[in-house]
A and B are shown apart, each in its own frame.
Chain A
Amino acid sequence: MALFITKRLLMALATVLVVAVLAFLLVHAMPGSPGAVSLGAGASQEAIDAVNQRMGWNDPLFAQFCTWLGSAIQGDLGISLIDGRSVSADLASRLPVTASLAAGATILSAVLGIGLGVTAAVRGGALDQAIGGFVGLLVALPAFWVGVLFVYLFAVQSSIFPATGYVPFEVSPQDWALSLALPVITLAVGGAAFIARQTRASMLEALQQEHIRTLRATATPTWKILYVHALRYASLPIVAGIALQFIGLFGGSVIAEQLFAMPGLGQAVQTSVSTHDAPAVQGVVVIATVVVVAVNLVLELATKFLDPKLRAS
C-alpha cells in the first residue's frame, strides 16, 4: 500500500510537471510579447523591447522555464501583465470560489445521481425507463442553457436566489450559500445525469453477481441485499465515476463563473486567455492541474481502500 501511494504521488508530480511544460510552451506561442501586452497598443518598440529584456523573454526557453519553475515552487507565479498584481495572490483569492462551486456541484450530483441510478436499477420497469429518459435529456441539455433557464425561473420570475455575484463565506454564510445555489445546481444537472448512468449500470452489474443469490438463499432481507451488499459492490465504479466527474465539473465552472459572474479560477482563465496575460494563463493552468490531480489522487485512494483485494495487497 505504501509503495502504491508513493508511486501514485510520483505520477501526480510528473503529471503536474508535464502540464507546467505544456502551459509554458503554449504561453510562448501566444501572439504578442509580454512587453507588447503589458504596455498596450501605441507603445514604442524600444519600450516594448526594454520590458521584454527585463522579463527575460529573450533568454533561452529552458532557462526561462527553470526560472519560472524555481519561483513557482516557492509559491510565486509571477506578475500579471495587465494589472501588475501578483498572480499567486490573485489565484489564492479565487480558489475558494471555484472550490466551493466544484465541491458543491460534485456532492449534489453524487447525491442526486446515486439516488436516481439506484432507484432505476432497483425498481426497474416503467420507472427505470422514465428515469432513463429523463437522464438522457439532462445529458443532452447544455449546462449554460440550463443555467440561463434557472436564472430566468428563480432570479427573474421569482427572486429566490440572486441572479449573479458571489458573497464570500466570511461576509455572510447565508448569502454565500444563496449565491452558490444557482451555479451549483446548474453544474450538477449534467453531473447528476452522468453519475446516475454509472450508478445504474454498476448496480445492475452488482445484482448479477452470484453472491447475491447466496444472500437470498440465506434469507437476507431485500433492503440489506440492495443497500449493504450490492451498493457496496457497486461503490468502486461509482466512486471512480465521481472522480471523473469532478474533473468535468471543475472545467464546467469556467462557464458557470462566466454566467453567474463569480470571481473564480474559471473566470481568471477566461479573462487571462482573452487578454493574452501570459503569466496568469500559465499560473492558472498549473493551479487547476494541481487541484484536479490532488482530488483525483484522494478519490483513487478511496476506491482502493473500498476494494478488499487491493487493500490487502
Chain B
Amino acid sequence: MIPSMAPAPADQAETTTAAAAPARNAGRAAITKLSGHRLFASPGAVAGLVWLAALVTASVTAPLWLPFKTEDQDFTAVLSGPTAAHWLGTDELGRDILSRIFAAAAGTLGTSMLTVIVGVGLGTILAMLAAGAGGRAEGVISRVTEVMMSLPGTVIILAVIGAVGTNIPVVMAILGILMSAGIYRVILGQAKSLQSQLYVDAAKVDGASPLRISLRHVLPGLANTIVVQAALIFAVGMLIQAGLAFIGFGPPIPQPSWGGMIQGASQHVYDAPWMMVPTGAVLALTVLSANAIGNALGKAPNAAAPHLPSTAARRQRAKAVAAIAAAPVHVTKDGAPDGETAVGTLSVRNLSVGVDSPGAGNGVRLVTDVSLDVEQGTVLGLVGESGCGKTMTALSLLGLLPSGVSVTGGQILWNGRNLAATTDKDMEAVRGREIALISQEPMRALDPMFTVGYQLTATIRRLRGMGKGEARKEALSLLEKVGIVDAAQILKTYPHQISGGMAQRVAIALALSGNPKLLVADEPTTALDVTVQAEILSLLRALVKDTGMSVVMVTHDLGVVADICDQVAVMYAGQVVENGRTAAILDSPRHPYTLALLAADPHANHADSMPERLATISGQVPQPKDWPAGCRFAARCQFAGSACLEPVPLLPSGAGEGLVRCVKADQLAVEGMDWLATDVPASRLLEITPKQTLLTEKDMA
C-alpha cells in the first residue's frame, strides 16, 4: 500500500495529537534533548540500529561477497525454496533471491533517505520560519500545508511519474515535498514554544538576527523531534517506494527492487508461495527498525499519570489495598483503635503514601506517618509548600491517588471504617455520598464536552437515585444554594462559557450533590481572582454552618487558614511538623517552619506589625529521596543544631492541644525567638554544613 502522506504517528502523545489538536498540546510540547540514552534503553531500537547497520554494510559491500550476480539465471533451480546453493531460494528465472535483495537494498535505502532529507528539511525550515515570523506568515504557511495534507498524494505522485518517468530519485524527492506538510504540523508547535522561551527573548533583545536565533536557539531544541520524524518518514518512504515498484513503477527493468520482487512473487503465489517470504520479511524488518528507532526517541519522557488507572494498574492497587488491610493495626499512644471514632469524624493514623516501585522494595515515600483529626462540622487546614505531600494526603482520603502512587501504611478512619483498606469498588459508595472533592482549577475539573446541566443532573441522579425531572429541580436549587443567580441559564452552558469563579461554584454544587459529610478542598481558591477567592471562602464557610459538613482544606495560603480553618496541620516534606487550633498556631507558632511561613506571608502579618521586609526561607524543599533521618527542615532552619540530626518526634507543644516536631520548640518559645527577615547572623548559623554531615535515612539503613 501507499500509506497516508501524513507521517505515521509515533507511539506517543506528543506527535499523534499535535496534528489533530494543536491548541490542546501547544502549551506543553515537551522539549526534549536528543537522547542516546532513550535510544539504547529500548531493545527494539538497538535491534533496529543493528539491523540497519548490517543491511547498509551488506548492501554496500554486496559486489564483494554476493554468491551470484543479480541477473545470473540458474535454470536448474527455478522457483526453488532455500537450498545450500541458494540460501533464500530463487525466482521464476532461477535468479538468486538473496543476491537480488541485497543488490536492491542500497538503492531503496538511499532514495528513501532522499525523501527524508527533502521532507524533514523542508518541513523543519517552514516550521522555523512560521514560528519565527508568526502572525500572517504563519497563517499562510499553515493554510498551504493544510491543503497539501488533504490531497490524494498517491494519485499525484503517479501523475508525476507520468511526467518524469520512473526516475526514482526525482519521484522520491517530490514525495518528500508532499510529506513535508505533515512534518511541518508536528514541528510547528514545538518550534513556537521554543521561540517563546526566555532565552530566545533575551537573544532578541541582544539584537540577534532571526536566522541566528533559529539556528542557535530553536534548531537544537528540535533535534529530537527531527530525528524521530526522519526515522518515521524513512519507513514510510520505503513502503511507498516498494508500493510503486509493486504496481510497475519501479526502477527500470533489469534493476531489482523489493516491491518489484514481491510483485514477481505474487504471480507465483499458487506454485511457489515461498518466494513472498524473504523479500517481504526484509522489507518489513527494515521498516520495523526505522519505526522502533523513531518510537524509542519519541517516547514522551514523563507522561502524566491517568486519573483513572488502567485495569492492570487497578489490579496492582487492589493488591496494595489488600496488603494494608492485612497489616497489623499500628496503634499509637493517642490513636484510637478501630471502631471507636464518633460518627462524622475523620481520623487519619500514621498514614504513609509512596510511589509504587516495580521491584519488591519500597518506592519513594511522599507522605510519612501523618495523623490528623477532623471533628464533624469543623474545617481542618492542611498547609505547606508545594511538594510537601498535602495534596497526596488529601487525595488518599477519597482513594483517588494518581496512578502509580498508593497508601503504604497507616489508617484512614472514617466513621470508624478504615478507608485505606477499602477496595476501589467499595470506595465508590463513599465517594460523592460521604466524602466529596473540589479541586484547584475549576475549569479543568468540569468535563468540557458536556453541559453543566448534564454533569450536575447525571451526578444527582446517580448519588440520590432521583428521576430526571426531580434531579433537574435539585440541580437548580443546588446552583442557587452556591450563589448562582441565573441557575436555569447556567445549566445550559458548557464549562468554557462561564468564568472561573462561576465554574468553582458549579464544581462545589457538583460536590454537594451527594450530601457529603466531608468535603476535601484542594486549593479551591488558588486559581481565582482575589475578590472571587473571598466569595468562594465565605460560601464554603456558610455551607459548613448550614450543612454541618466538615472540610479538609488544602492550601499554601495562611490567609485562607486564618479565614476559615478551625484546626490546622502544617506539613513539611511529607510530615506534619505542627498542628493545633488555628488561633493558637497563628498567634504563637512553635515550629521554626511555621514561624518562617508566617514571617514570609504578607497577609498573615497584622497591618500594624507589618515588617519592613518579608522573610524568606533559603534553599528548597528537599526531594523525597533526599529526606534526612533527622529533622527534615534542618538544612533550611535558622535554629538548627546538632540535636536536630536525630529523628524528631511529634510532641505536645504547650500551646493548646497542639503538637510540634522540633527539638528546640520549648527553648524557642521561652526565648521568644523570631524567624529573621534579614540575613542570618553568623552566631545563629549552623555549626555544620548540611550536605556533608546530615545523614540520610538511606545511609543509616
Chain A residues with CB under 8 Å of chain B are 11, 14-15, 18-19, 22-23, 26-27, 29-31, 121-128, 132, 136-137, 139-145, 148-149, 151-152, 156, 186-187, 190, 194, 197-198, 201-202, 204-205, 207-222, 225-226, 229-230, 232-233, 236-237, 240-241, 244-245, 247-252, 254-256, 258-259, 269-270, 272-274, 276, 281, 284-285, 288-289, 291-293, 296, 308-309, 312
Chain B: minimal CB distance from A263 (Å): 15
Chain A: minimal CB distance from B84 (Å): 26
Task: Please provide the chain B residues from 130 to 146 with a CB less than 8 Å away from any CB of chain A in the complex.
Answer: 143, 146
A-side contacts of B147, CB under 8 Å: 11, 14-15, 18
Find the B residue at minimum CB distance from A240: B20
Chain B interface, >50% SS class = helix
User: Would you list the 9 A-B pairs with minimal beta carbon distance, nearest first?
Assistant: A124-B310, A125-B312, A248-B4, A251-B154, A143-B1, A240-B20, A237-B20, A207-B306, A217-B437
Task: Please provide the chain B residues from 449 to 469 with a CB less than 8 Å away from any CB of chain A in the complex.
Answer: 449-451, 458-459, 462-463
Residues A289 and B152 in contact, CB atoms below 8 Å apart: yes
Residues B447 and A124 in contact, CB atoms below 8 Å apart: no
Chain A: minimal CB distance from B454 (Å): 10
Chain A: minimal CB distance from B383 (Å): 22
Residues B2 and A219 in contact, CB atoms below 8 Å apart: no
A-side contacts of B285, CB under 8 Å: 140
A170 vs B13: C-alpha distance when bound (angstroms): 45
Given that A124-B311, A296-B150 are contacting pairs, would A190 and B17 also be in contact in the complex, using a CB cutoff of 8 Å?
Answer: no
Given that A270-B158, A281-B159 are contacting pairs, would A254 and B2 also be in contact in the complex, using a CB cutoff of 8 Å?
Answer: yes
Chain B: minimal CB distance from A148 (Å): 4
With A27-B159, A31-B165 given, name 9 new contacts (CB 8 A). A19-B151, A29-B163, A152-B269, A244-B149, A248-B4, A248-B5, A250-B152, A250-B154, A251-B1
A248 vs B178: C-alpha distance when bound (angstroms): 13
Contact with A along B262-286 (1 / 0, CB 8 A): 1101100110010010001001110
Chain B: minimal CB distance from A136 (Å): 6
Chain B: minimal CB distance from A267 (Å): 9
A218 vs B446: C-alpha distance when bound (angstroms): 12
Residues B307 and A213 in contact, CB atoms below 8 Å apart: yes
A-side contacts of B496, CB under 8 Å: 308-309
Chain B residues with CB under 8 Å of chain A are 1-6, 8-9, 11-13, 16-17, 19-21, 24, 143, 146-147, 149-156, 158-165, 235, 239, 242-243, 246-249, 259, 262-263, 265-266, 269-270, 273, 276, 280, 283-285, 287-288, 291-292, 295, 303-313, 315, 398, 400, 428-429, 431-433, 436-437, 439, 441, 444-451, 458-459, 462-463, 494, 496-497, 507, 510-511, 513-514
B-side contacts of A132, CB under 8 Å: 11
A127 vs B441: C-alpha distance when bound (angstroms): 34
A30 CB contact (under 8 Å) in B154, B162, B309, B459:
B162
A255 CB contact (under 8 Å) in B150, B247, B283, B306:
B247
A18 vs B147: C-alpha distance when bound (angstroms): 10
B-side contacts of A143, CB under 8 Å: 1, 3, 243
A-side contacts of B164, CB under 8 Å: 29
Residues B400 and A312 in contact, CB atoms below 8 Å apart: no
A29 vs B304: C-alpha distance when bound (angstroms): 53
A144 vs B250: C-alpha distance when bound (angstroms): 14
A142 vs B150: C-alpha distance when bound (angstroms): 22
A123 CB contact (under 8 Å) in B156, B159, B311, B514:
B311
Residues A218 and B9 in contact, CB atoms below 8 Å apart: no
Chain A: minimal CB distance from B63 (Å): 27
Given that A210-B441, A218-B513, A247-B150 are contacting pairs, would A233 and B449 also be in contact in the complex, using a CB cutoff of 8 Å?
Answer: yes
Find the A residue at minimum CB distance from B147: A15
Residues B243 and A125 in contact, CB atoms below 8 Å apart: no
B-side contacts of A225, CB under 8 Å: 308
A15 vs B143: C-alpha distance when bound (angstroms): 11
Residues A217 and B511 in contact, CB atoms below 8 Å apart: yes
Residues A236 and B8 in contact, CB atoms below 8 Å apart: no
A-side contacts of B150, CB under 8 Å: 15, 247, 292-293, 296
Residues B439 and A285 in contact, CB atoms below 8 Å apart: no
Residues B162 and A218 in contact, CB atoms below 8 Å apart: no
Can you report 23 residue pairs joining A to B where beta carbons are below 8 Å apart?
A: A122-B310, A125-B311, A125-B313, A139-B235, A145-B280, A151-B269, A156-B269, A197-B16, A205-B24, A216-B431, A217-B511, A219-B462, A220-B459, A232-B449, A233-B447, A247-B151, A247-B153, A251-B1, A269-B155, A269-B158, A270-B247, A281-B159, A292-B151
Find the B residue at minimum CB distance from A229: B447
Residues B154 and A252 in contact, CB atoms below 8 Å apart: yes
A225 vs B462: C-alpha distance when bound (angstroms): 13
A255 vs B304: C-alpha distance when bound (angstroms): 41
B-side contacts of A273, CB under 8 Å: 158-159, 161-162, 249
A-side contacts of B19, CB under 8 Å: 240, 244
Residues B8 and A218 in contact, CB atoms below 8 Å apart: no
Chain B: minimal CB distance from A191 (Å): 9
